[in-house]
Amino acid sequence: MTWFLLVLTITLIVLVPVNIYIARKVRKFECIERIKDKKKRFLLSYIFLLITFLLLWWNPTNANVIVLHFFFILLLGELIYDIVCICKRKMKFKYGQEIVVSICFVFTIIYLGYAYYVAHHVVETHYDVLAKKDIGVDSFRIVQITDSHVGATMNGDKFYNYMLDINKTNPDIVVVTGDFVDDDTRYDDFIRSCEGLGALKTKYGVYFVYGNHDRGYFNNRKYGDKEIREELAKNNVTILEDNGLNIVGNIYLLGRQDRSVRNRRPIQELMNEIDDNYYVIDLNHQPNDYENEKNAKVDLVISGHTHGGQVFPLMIIDKMIGANNQIYGIEERDNTTFIVSSGIGDWAVKFKTGTLAEYVVIDIKNKKDF
């Protein structure tokens, strides 16, 4: 109910004035102005309002995304049209408004159509990391899965099939760095996705840390934290919560509680309990603790949460306000390497623009071999 009211509020505040603006533009079409019947003119002027209602019936959240994209693309199109008219000495083109709106409408469909495709087709992203200390083995391969939000862009069967693809990479370990499921994840999709994790073939296991969505926000699911723990254990997935273990050689895997957990332990406190000779891999869902992780001398931090910015221009806004230390990709700060994945799935929004859907393959190379 809370989420419904939030979406309804956004719809009323944003989509109503946007549709009125678009309707006034359509009202100026020459073909519309020639119609003598005022009722017909009015109805035709609000043709895009009908499209909006159909989108709202399909999916309220994504209706907002689609209509707002069309609105801003239309504003850009009108700006370009006005500049062209000024350059042509204020000459107006016949059917100029019709042409601008039509081009912007078609461009929006193509643009968001591609964004929908990108969000629903997962790719493999690869990083090579040179360890700055002896890891005790020649190399170590990690596959990261994050932010699947099962049910948004993939159901349980599709998630399961992606796990079979991951098996082809021959991982030493697979790590799930949060937001595995969401409030809207159906029980059968949750069970099937857990089975997918159980189908992974690794040398040293599958490991899981909680994200901010996994436990749910609105208590409207048929399962909770207890069932998540039971199903993950049934499928041989190890949950890490401010604890870790030595995997092989000098490699130590540390999993942190999510930032949303009030009593999570500071990284320095956790690192004080780990031998300095270990190469420490820190699984931290939200990339928000870089300075502390660097000062604590963590070797590698793997995160998700940001979705790579999800849709343009959110990644720019994220950088401007500093909501996260990093939005996407690989970065080094002193002796610590940070990797943030855009995620294998999505939360609510079914489009990705300026980013991609991915699972990440990380090959750690031993310092002694170089």
User: Which one has a higher pLDDT value, 56 or 119?
Assistant: 119
Nearest-10 Cα torsion for 198, 203, 205, 209: -110
The percent of residues in the chain predicted with pLDDT above 90, rounded, is 61
What is the number of other CB atoms lying within 10 angstroms of the CB of residue 350?
17
In tens, the pLDDT along 28-38 reads 666 666 666 66
How do strand 300-303 and strand 237-239 relate by DSSP bridges? unpaired
In tens, the pLDDT along 57-105 reads 777 788 888 888 988 998 898 888 888 877 766 556 666 777 888 899 8
* CA–CA separation, 203 and 200 (whole Å): 10
Q: Is the pLDDT of residue 50 over 80?
A: no
Confidence of residue 16 (pLDDT cuts 50, 70, 90): confident
The pTM score is: 0.88
Q: CA nearest 33: which of 21, 70, 74, 24?
A: 24
Contacts of 202 (CB under 8 A, 6+ apart): 171, 172, 173, 174
Question: Best-predicted range by mean pLDDT among 18-27, 140-149, 349-358?
Answer: 140-149
- The answer to whether the Cα torsion of 211, 304, 307, 163 is positive or negative is negative
Classify residue 308 as left (phi > 0), alpha (psi -120 to 50) or beta: left
In tens, the pLDDT along 138-147 reads 999 999 999 9
Predicted local confidence at residue 10, as pLDDT: 65
Mean pLDDT confidence for 245-267: 95
Predicted local confidence at residue 64, as pLDDT: 82
In tens, the pLDDT along 352-365 reads 998 999 999 999 99
Exposure b/e, 115-129, CB count within 10 A at least 16 = b: bbebbbebeebebeb
Q: Is the pLDDT of residue 369 over 80?
A: no
Predicted local confidence at residue 1, as pLDDT: 45
Predicted local confidence at residue 304, as pLDDT: 96
Predicted local confidence at residue 12, as pLDDT: 67
Q: Which amino acid is at 192?
A: R
Q: Is the pLDDT of residue 367 over 80?
A: no
Mean pLDDT confidence for 307-336: 88
Residue reference for tokens 């500071």: 266
Domains present along the chain, CATH in parentheses: 2-119 (no CATH), 123-369 (3.60.21.10)
Residue reference for tokens 């359509």: 26
